[in-house]
Chains A and B, each alone.
Chain A
Amino acid sequence: MNWLQQLINGFGLGSIYALIALGYTMVYGVLRFINFAHSDVLMLGAFAAFFLAPKVEGFVPRQSYAGALLILVLAAAVCAVIGILIERLAYRPLRNRPKLTVLITAIGVSLFIEFSCQHRAIFGAQTRPFPKLLPEHTFHVGELTIASYDIMVPLVTMVLLVILWFVVQRTRIGTAMRAVAYNHQAACLMGVNIDRVISFTFGLGSALAAVAGILYALKAPGIEPLMGIQPGLRAFVAAVLGGIGNLPGAVLGGLVLGLLETFAGGIPGISNYRDGIAFAILILILLFRPAGLLGRAQVEKV
């Protein structure tokens, strides 16, 4: 039964990675660059919920699903605005510069957010207790113990994946996103408003990050300005593993990484090397499938 329990643990952890990876992969799909500030928007999402929760509790009962949903939506909206602002201020002026310039800028934005938020006047560097937004239940199935949290996170991830897929494949703005991803000059000539499409992509990605941040904070209810770094790094790897730019791939990559980490972490004696083991396996997978699990290999024309 032990391995079945670890499977459940791994799914719970992997779903979080998957959710974060969705944001990375979507921005990459449209703009071909990694938005390293994504993990910090995640942190800002958790903090937004932290500050919103006491205010929302004023008119919605504590630990109710309606209240949690309201907080989630509000925090996602806050982060969407932040994401759009980051793109407008930091990335847009560099859009026609070499990709490396934008990449370094993304790292700069990430460090800027992390360390300015550690300042006393903003959030401060201490860990803060994150409120319980939902009632907690534990289900027992035989010897298995399943926390309501471990059911909720995969569920939320799947629902968001379906919504995202629908937005990208079936809506007007989604068609525009794909057009920009395919060839942004041609899209421009066809009358697609590129600025709007890119702003929308960042808004959507950042809203996803906010949801992931809140779910992550519910799992580990101590939040601090550097909380995004660890899961952000793993999610980035998950996105690459799944095939960067591919939405279902990001989810698959996240789940694989979560499961690997959990199984490696459960073995006495080597639990300390859980990341080492997980990442060694990732390297092996990428050796055989360099474009990722679901990614398509692209031939670079010279």
Chain B
Amino acid sequence: MNIALRLTIVGLAATCLVGIGCNKQPAADVIKVGEFASLTGKEANFGNSSHQGTLLAIEELNAAGGVLGKKLELITEDDLTKAGEPATVVNKLISRDGVVAVLGEVASSRSLEAAPICQQNKIPMISPSSTNPEVTKTGDYIFRVCFIDPFQGTVMANFATKKLKAKKVGIFTDVKSDYSKGLAKFFKESFVASGGQVIAELDFNGGDKDFKAQLTSIKSAGPDAVFVPGYYTDVALICIQAKQLGLNVPLFGGDGWEGEDLVKIGQDAVEGHYFSTHYHPDVGSPKSTAFVEAYKKRWKNADGSPKVPDAMAALGYDSAMILADAMKRAGTMDGTKVRDMLAATKDFDAVTGRITINSQRDATKSAVILQVKGGTFKYVETINP
């Protein structure tokens, strides 16, 4: 290849890149809302559900005439379920796309990465379903529309003592995840306070494939149940290996379990286990019924059947609706005014229940407990704060 030809190719490639970079002209009649989600990677179920809920909300808002006479445009970035990526994409959303607010993430570790950036730029950020208390402590521009882990930990501790009649439990924590460490801590405090005993505490690293060493240790301690506050891909493998080792006690965890792949990967090994989460489509207000119908119409499973929304989808939807509501009340896109109105949200009628934002910018809400049965998540009970 001669030099002239090489230069031409490089030139063409550069032109293409510049062209791609410039083709998005800022339009004055749209409101840009940024979203970052784990659309691919280990926790892709979370990101996709959350994104589908959020996009449905944006579409419904636009069909009803938009906000303040303008249409909403959702700009979504995939963070690949990777540490480090949220900071990059949120910086891009704020500095290049000029979004007025940011929605995301599900996993607390990734929300914690993006929160300081939003805070610094005075861009309101709403996490749909990060439950670690630290997320909103980052600053006064960071909100969430779900409950937090001290509550979830208490709910599961009560569930373990009352429903599972467990006196001795093992805890198996993912030390790579802020969510898992936080939830394990709150669960332990609450469980010990109510007279229970934690007889084995072992750790794993999210993404591990072999858990038999730790599970053997847990089993030999003889627990009545094992608390596994992890995310669904790891949990599915843990359930499989627990079953292989004959650890036949109930395993239970938090909202990180709720991904359709839990059942697809875990199959019969996850049957009968329990977890707490934010929402179940079977129980809910007229608002929830309408949402379930709209969602099923809009989104399909891989096999073409209508997709039933999960908690992440419902919370994604709520996060966008709460943002739109605050914008309407603020009457402007200004970050500070929108923030003030978000903080003043009271009794908002959402899919996952009535949302009131408290002084810590968290939502106080009830939790539901689900059981894996027949390959689906069955509703067990609702627990109010």
A residues apposed to B, CB below 8 Å: 1-2, 5-6, 9-10, 12-13, 118, 120, 124-127, 129-130, 132, 136, 138, 140, 145, 147, 149-150, 216, 219-222, 224, 227, 230-231, 261-269, 271-272, 274
Q: Which of B40-48, B120-128, B373-381 contacts A (4 or more CB under 8 A)?
A: B40-48
CA of A230 to CA of B40 in the docked complex: distance in angstroms? 19
* Nearest CB in chain B: distance from A122 CB, A: 12
Q: Which residue of A lies closest to B47 (CB)?
A: A126
Cβ-defined contact, B265 with A127, below 8 A: yes
Q: Does B233 sit within 8 A of A, measured CB to CB?
A: yes
Contact B41 A126 (CB under 8 A): yes
Task: Sort A-B residue pairs by CB-CB distance and give the 4 closest, nearest first.
Answer: A265-B213, A125-B40, A220-B209, A272-B203
From the candidates A10, A219, A265, name the one contacting B209 in the complex (CB within 8 A). A219
CB distance from A136 to the nearest CB of B (A): 8
CB distance from A261 to the nearest CB of B (A): 7
Since A13-B212, A125-B41, A220-B240 are in contact, a sample of 15 more A-B pairs with Cβ atoms closer than 8 Å, ordered by chain A residue number, is A6-B213, A120-B40, A127-B233, A127-B261, A130-B265, A136-B244, A149-B244, A216-B209, A219-B209, A220-B209, A221-B237, A262-B212, A271-B202, A271-B217, A274-B213
Partner of B246, one of A13, A145, A220, A274: A145
Residues of B at under 8 Å CB distance from A? 40-42, 44, 80-81, 175, 200-205, 207-210, 212-214, 216-217, 220, 233, 236-237, 240, 244-246, 261, 264-265, 267
The complex places the Cα of A263 from the Cα of B210 at a distance, in Å, of 12
Chain A residues, CB < 8 A from B245? 5, 145, 147
Q: In the assembled complex, which residues on chain B have CB atoms less than 8 Å from the CB atom of A265?
A: 210, 213-214
Q: Which residues of B contact A124 (CB under 8 A)?
A: 40
> Given the complex, which residues of A lie within 8 Å of B44, measured CB to CB?
125-127
| Residues of chain B with a CB closer than 8 A to A262's CB | 210, 212-213
Residues of B within 8 A of A145 (CB): 244-246
Q: Which residue of A lies closest to B246 (CB)?
A: A145
In the complex, A126 Cα to B201 Cα: how many Å? 30
Residue of B nearest to A120 (CB): B40
Q: Assuming A13-B210, A127-B233, A129-B261, is B41 touching A267 (CB within 8 A)?
A: no
- B354 CB to closest chain A CB (Å) equals 34
Query: Which residues on the B side are within 8 Å of A231 (C-beta)?
Result: 209
Q: State whether A271 and B203 are in contact (beta carbons under 8 Å apart), knowing that A127-B44, A220-B210, A222-B261 are contacts in the complex.
A: yes
A selection of 16 A-B contacts at a CB cut-off of 8 Å is A12-B212, A13-B212, A118-B40, A136-B244, A138-B244, A138-B246, A216-B209, A221-B237, A262-B212, A265-B210, A265-B214, A266-B216, A268-B217, A269-B201, A271-B203, A272-B205
Asked if A129 contacts B264 (CB within 8 A), the reply is yes
- Known A129-B264, A219-B210: A9·B175 in contact at CB below 8 Å: no
B233 and A266 form a contact (CB under 8 A): no
Q: Find chain A residues with CB under 8 A from B42 CB.
A: 127, 224
Chain B hits for A130, CB < 8 A:
265
**What chain A residues lie within 8 Å of B244 (beta carbons)?**
136, 138, 145, 147, 149-150
A126 to B264, CA, bound (A): 13
Of the candidates B81, B205, B220, B246, which one forms a contact with A2 in the assembled complex, judged by CB atoms under 8 Å apart?
B220
| Residue of A219, A263, A264 with most chain B CB atoms under a 10 A cut-off | A219
With a cutoff of 8 Å between Cβ atoms, the chain A residues found around residue B175 in the complex are 272
The chain B residue sitting closest to A220, CB to CB, is B209
Q: How far is the CA of A247 from the CA of B246 in the complex (A)?
A: 35
Which A residues are in CB contact (< 8 Å) with B202? 268, 271
Residues of B within 8 Å of A268, CB to CB, are 200-202, 217
Report B-chain residues with C-beta under 8 Å of the C-beta of A149: 244
A220, B237: Cβ atoms under 8 Å? yes
CB proximity of A17 to chain B, nearest CB, Å: 10
Give the residue name and chain of the B residue nearest to A216 (CB). B209
The answer to whether A9 touches B41 (Cβ under 8 A) is no
Instruction: Kindly provide the distance from the CB of B260 to the nearest chain A CB, expressed in whole angstroms.
Output: 10
Which B residue sits closest to A136, measured CB to CB?
B244
CB pair A261–B213 under 8 Å, yes or no, is yes
Instruction: Give B176's nearest chain A residue, CB to CB.
Output: A272
Known: A13-B210, A129-B265, A138-B246. A6 touches B216 (CB 8 A): yes
In angstroms, how far is the closest chain B Cβ from the Cβ of A45? 15
Instruction: Given A216-B209, A271-B203, verify A266-B214 contact (CB < 8 Å).
Output: yes
CB distance from A146 to the nearest CB of B (A): 9
A149-B210 Cα distance, complex, nearest whole Å: 13
A141 to B101, CA, bound (A): 60
Chain B residue numbers with a CB within 8 Å of A12 are: 212
B-chain residues with CB within 8 Å of residue A230 when the two chains form the complex? 207-209
Contact B265 A267 (CB under 8 A): no
Residues of B within 8 A of A147 (CB): 244-245
Bound-state CA distance A124–B41 (Å) is: 8
Cα distance A265–B267 in the bound complex, in angstroms: 26
In the assembled complex, the Cα of A101 lies from the Cα of B310 at a distance in Å of 51
Structural contact, B233 and A222, CB atoms closer than 8 A = yes
Name the residue of chain B whose CB is nearest to the CB of A259.
Answer: B213
List of A residues within 8 angstroms of B205 by Cβ: 272
A9 touches B216 (CB 8 A): yes
Q: Which residues of B sit under 8 angstroms from A9, Cβ to Cβ?
A: 210, 212-213, 216
- B209 cross-chain contacts in A, Cβ below 8 A: 216, 219-220, 227, 230-231
**B172, closest chain A residue (CB):** A271
CA distance A220 to B235 in the complex (A): 11
- A216–B210 alpha-carbon span in the complex (Å): 10
Taken together as a complex, chains A and B put the C-alpha atoms of A9 and B217 apart, in Å, by 11
Supposing A127-B233, A147-B244 touch, asked if A2 and B217 sit within 8 A by C-beta, the answer is yes
Query: Which of B205, B233, B236, B245 has most chain A Cβ within 10 Å?
Result: B245
Point out which of B216, B265, B267 has the most chain A C-beta atoms below 10 A from its C-beta.
B216
Kindly report which residue of chain B lies nearest to residue A9, judged by CB atoms: B212
**A129→B262 CA distance, assembly (Å):** 9
A219 to chain B, nearest CB (A): 7
